[in-house]
Every structure is written in C-alpha cells, then in structure tokens.
Amino acid sequence: MKSVTGIICPLFAAMACSQSALARSDESSPSVPSAIAVPAGHKIEVMLRASGVQIYRCQPTAQAATDYGWAFVAPEATLFNRDGTVAGHHYAGPTWEANDGSKAVGTLVAKAAGPDAASIPSLLLSAAVVRHGGTFEKVAFVQRLHTNGGAAPATGCTSEAANSEARVPYTADYYFYTLDRLPSALESY
C-alpha cells in the first residue's frame, strides 16, 4: 500500500498544481467580446501598456475627390511594463519592437467597438515574429484592449487641410499570446 500511496499522492499533487496554474492563467485573461477572443490553446506571455498617438492624414475619400476625410496612417507609441519601465515601441506595420530587439508584426483578424466614440476599437491580430529573441520570441496573437482616445478627429478635414496630419493621443493595453501546451502526461485527463 505504501508504494501505491507513494505514486498516487504525488500524481494528485501534480494534477492539483496544474489545475491551479490553469485557473490562475484563466483569471488573468481579460474579458473580451467573442469576436476578438484568442483561440483556445494560447496563454498571455506579456501585457504592455501603450501611450502615444494615432496618426491620421486628411485626404480625398474614395467616394469623391471633392470629399475629404481622415485616413489612418500609423500608431506611434511607447510600450511600458506593468512597473512603468519602458519596454519598447509600437509603430507602423503594426509593429511592436521590444528593447531586447525582438520584433513582431500584426495582421488584423477582428475588431470590436471601443468604449466610446473618441476611442479606437479593440483588436485581435495574428502576429509574425520578424526578429527573434526575447520578449516577442514566440508571440502568435496580440489583443489591443482598454483603449482610451485615438479615434480620428470628427471635423477639420477639408480641401484646405489636405495632406495635413492629426496626432491623436491614446492609451491601450496590448496582450501578447503564445501557444500554451499542457504536459503530454496531463492531456488525457
């Protein structure tokens, strides 16, 4: 009986620890609309807070050359760790570049409305790592959440303002997800 207990007790302890770790991971996952939910099997690797601007250019609309509207150009933001230290930069692409040199470029998968008309939408993006090593080494998805500001100006884009730029302040949280695999011994449970 001692040998069975010696095997079963550590097995149950390992399973309990694994379930506890999974629960903690789920608790840290942000609540989001289903349209921008990250596919199952991924975990948050890092969350970075962005503070910067969304850049827009006043240009003719596709409907008529005499109508003008603000067109998105690029983001320009500094990325911060939870403790407030600078972690990297976010710019056109969209690209996220960490201070360690790693870099990921996103492709839009889906979007959900921002919290108000003045805020940019929440996004789900797939990510391609273009410079390996460090922070973004295995990033597969990025979510832009908790946006504040950054929406295109509602007025001011006329033929007289053609080609002018508007730099609209914004903040957002970027969640970077990597593939999360359970240990093969636990996959059958």
Structure-model confidence comparison of residues 6 and 141, the more confident one:
141
pLDDT at 5 exceeding the cut of 60: no
Q: What angle do CA 128, 140, 105 make, to 5 degrees?
A: 30
Radius of gyration of the chain (CA): 22
In the structure encoding, which two tokens stand for residue 184, read together? Answer: 């093969």
Distance, CA of 99 to CA of 81 (rounded, Å): 11
**Tens of pLDDT, residues 75-126:** 999 999 999 999 999 999 999 999 999 999 999 999 999 999 999 999 999 9
pTM to 2 decimal places: 0.80
DSSP secondary structure, 145-180, as one string: EEEEEBPPPSS--SGGGTT-EEEEEEEEEEEEEEE-
pLDDT at 133 exceeding the cut of 90: no
DSSP 36: G
Distance, CA of 154 to CA of 103 (rounded, Å): 33
